[in-house]
Amino acid sequence: MSALIGEDAARRDHDSGATDNRVVLLGDLIDRGPSAAGVIEWLLSPPLGEGFATHVLMGNHERLMLDFLDDPMIGRAWLALGGLQTLDSYGVAPPIGAMTFERLSAVRDDLAARLPDRHRTYLAALPLTLVIGDYLFVHAGIRPGVPLPRQEPEDLLWIREEFLDAPASCDKGGVHGHQGTACPEMRSHRIGLDTGAYRSGVLSCVVLEGRTRHLLQTPPDSQKKRSPISMTSPGITSASCGTESSTGPEDDSRRILISPLSAR
């Protein structure tokens, strides 16, 4: 995905002369894949080089790992949701047998010892939301009817149907991950980008430039790029996983590239 983003930005920079490229990662950097530790280490350096400002949001999986470090019993939920693979990426053996407090505490202590301080500090400092122009970026979504400053972290990280089924949740276009779908959801009021890379192999990124949108995606089984597919309605839900174009809220003409890039 980083190569696709770089190629796309270089082509558009050449065509338009724009150089303000922002990359937003929507959280869930860890769990369910073999490279969680490597992803965090990659993000600690400028992952896309010069010409890109990178913004990374917290996902519910990062929150679960941090909570596990404070409360070992959180491990029962976290390990069932992909934490076993994250443990393995840090060289930590999983608990054997029943997940008792003693066994989970031992695993927590081992992870705390092996997790680099810079990784823990980086994850703990990740923000829950980002606003750029007319777009709101968030991992899961927001609770409809609640002003953004009063949103609960639990909702920003975990909400599903109440946000997904609402016709509109705020005065900005929402861009989110969390809810896995076969293809990105490109709605007039929200864009959902989680295409379940841990099981599909497909990472999805939407490029927002002015009032236009188009998708970049990694194919599941090759490095070949997908053919563009035209999108003529701003309210359409993607029916295929090709590169698409449409219109959306104004974003101050900055180019924004958003992906739920993860180890999954």
> Domain map of the chain by residue range?
2-58+126-259, 63-119
Cα end-to-end span (Å), the chain: 13
DSSP sequence for the chain: -HHHHHHHHHHHHHHH----EEEEE-S--SSSSTTHHHHHHHHHS-TT-TTEEEEE---HHHHHHHHHHH-GGGHHHHIIIIIHHHHHHTTPPPP-SS--HHHHHHHHHHHHHHS-HHHHHHHHT--SEEEETTEEEESS---TTS-GGG--HHHHHH--HHHHTSS-SSSSEEEE-SS--SS-EE-SSEEE----HHHH---EEEEEETTEEEEEE--SS-SPPPPB-----TTPPPSS-SB-EEE-S--TT-EEEEE-----
Q: For residue 193, what are its two tokens?
A: 């980008």
Q: Starting at the edge strand that comes first in sequence, how are the strands of the sheet with 135-138 ordered?
A: 129-132, 135-138, 173-176, 190-192, 185-186
- CATH, range 2-58+126-259: 3.60.21
Q: Hey, how many other C-beta atoms are within 10 angstroms of the C-beta on 236?
A: 14
Encode the chain (264 residues) as per-residue pLDDT tens digits: 778 887 888 776 656 556 678 899 999 999 998 899 999 999 998 777 777 889 999 999 999 999 999 999 999 999 999 999 999 999 999 999 999 999 999 999 999 999 999 999 999 999 999 999 889 999 999 999 999 999 999 999 999 999 998 887 677 788 999 988 888 888 888 999 988 888 888 888 899 887 788 888 888 754 434 333 222 223 333 334 544 445 555 444 445 665 565 444
CA count, 13 A, side-chain hemisphere, 34: 1
- Per the CB < 8 A criterion, the answer to whether 68 and 108 are in contact is yes
- pLDDT for the residue numbered 263: 42
What was the pLDDT predicted at 236? 31
Q: State the pLDDT at residue 27.
A: 95
Alpha-carbon span 117 to 119, nearest angstrom? 5
Query: Given this model, what pLDDT does residue 230 score?
Result: 28
Least Cα distance to 60 among 111, 123, 11 occurs for 123
Please state the pTM of the whole predicted model.
Answer: 0.82
HSE value, Cβ hemisphere, 13 Å, CA-based, for 54 = 19
CB 142 within 8 A of CB 136: yes
